[in-house]
Amino acid sequence: MHAEPAADTDLSGLAAAFHSFTAATATLEREYSTLQQHVARLTAELEASHARERQLEAEALRQSRLAAMGEMAAMLAHEVRNPLGAMELFTGLLLQDLRDHPDARRLAQQVARGIADLNHLVTNLLEFTRTRAPRRQAIECCELLDHVLRYTVELHAASAVTVERAYAPAPVLAHADPDLVRPVLLNLVRNAMQAMPDGGRLTVGVRRDASAVRLSVRDTGGGIPRAEQETIFRPFFSTRSRGTGLGLSVSRELVKGMGGALEVESEVGRGATFTVTLPAA
């Protein structure tokens, strides 16, 4: 008669112990799960840190190579520029002497274009290696674009490219360095010519708003794939077998140094539009 309460007490103690064990087990499982998550987070952060470190090392190596290449390019460009200037001068005199000999003059014009291409390449190399503070002033953008088009008029004729102007009413004044804007526009126009080897239409535009002036160069060539529309601005990237890949990289840096931007819009098969945005004067 007196054994039953003892049995009840033992069962209730066992139940309490089992409940405590279950609760402790659940707590341990929760803590273990939290610990696993913490370890996973730390592991991911460590891997990200190592990846970032490797990326920084690769970038440092790349910058070192670019610096060495830039020094070499600057040395070569300076050595080439003097004889190139003499060749350009003598070819100009030759073209004048051959005014009455169209066949010979045509050959001399090809030589002149080759020299102009070399001079363009040397200019890009020097601009890539040079650090220069812009000398900003008010520049008339329509007039500046017309000057660039006059300089490349022989390219237009040789490529069977028609030129259209879409200018806002002059004057359109930007606050920039004309000696830096001019080679940028020349780069863009020459690239547009090369994008239309079988002929096409080159449209140059000038528009303005309250705070900015936008100069655009549009071609009707094959266009630029979306995946390459940012890559083309990297140094030494070129889609042409004879290109150096410096023109667009130098152009973007020059525009950026004047407080502006250089951007591209393009669809494959529908040409490309490069837009230079500069502060309005």
Instruction: Let me know if 251 is exposed, middle or buried by CB neighbors in 10 A (0-12, 13-18, 19+).
Output: buried
Q: In the chain, which residue ranges form alpha helices assigned H by DSSP? A: 3-97, 102-129, 141-151, 153-159, 178-194, 247-257
pLDDT tens column, 228-239? 888 888 866 666
Q: DSSP letters along 65-98, please?
A: HHHHHHHHHHHHHHHHHHHHHHHHHHHHHHHHHT
Q: What CA dihedral angle connects 116, 144, 215 and 238, to 10 degrees?
A: 10
**Closest CA relative to residue 221, chosen from 189, 198, 241, 239:** 198
Distance CA 148, CA 152 (A): 6
Q: Which pLDDT does position 128 carry in this prediction?
A: 60
Binned at pLDDT 50, 70 and 90, residue 1 comes out as very low
pTM of full prediction above 0.85: no
Is the CB of residue 139 less than 8 Å from the CB of residue 148? Answer: no
- Over the chain, what is the mean pLDDT? 81
Name the 3-class secondary structure at 270: coil
Question: What's the whole-number mean pLDDT along residues 149-168?
Answer: 80
**Closest CA relative to residue 235, chosen from 251, 258, 221, 256:** 251
Is the CB of residue 169 less than 8 Å from the CB of residue 104? Answer: no
pLDDT tens column, 167-223? 999 899 999 998 889 889 988 998 898 888 888 999 999 999 889 999 999 999 999
pLDDT tens column, 100-155? 888 888 888 888 877 877 776 777 666 666 656 778 899 999 999 998 888 777 66
Fold topology of 138-279: Heat Shock Protein 90 (3.30.565)
Host H or E run for residue 209: none
Name the 3-class secondary structure at 140: strand
**Closest CA relative to residue 216, chosen from 145, 154, 150, 279:** 145
Side-chain half-sphere of 162: how many Cα atoms within 13 Å?
3
What is the edge-to-edge ordering of all strands in the sheet holding 200-208? 161-167, 200-208, 212-219, 272-279, 261-266
Beta-bridged to residue 273, according to DSSP, are 218, 265
Q: Where are the domains of the chain?
A: 1-130, 138-279
Distance CA 150, CA 139 (A): 18
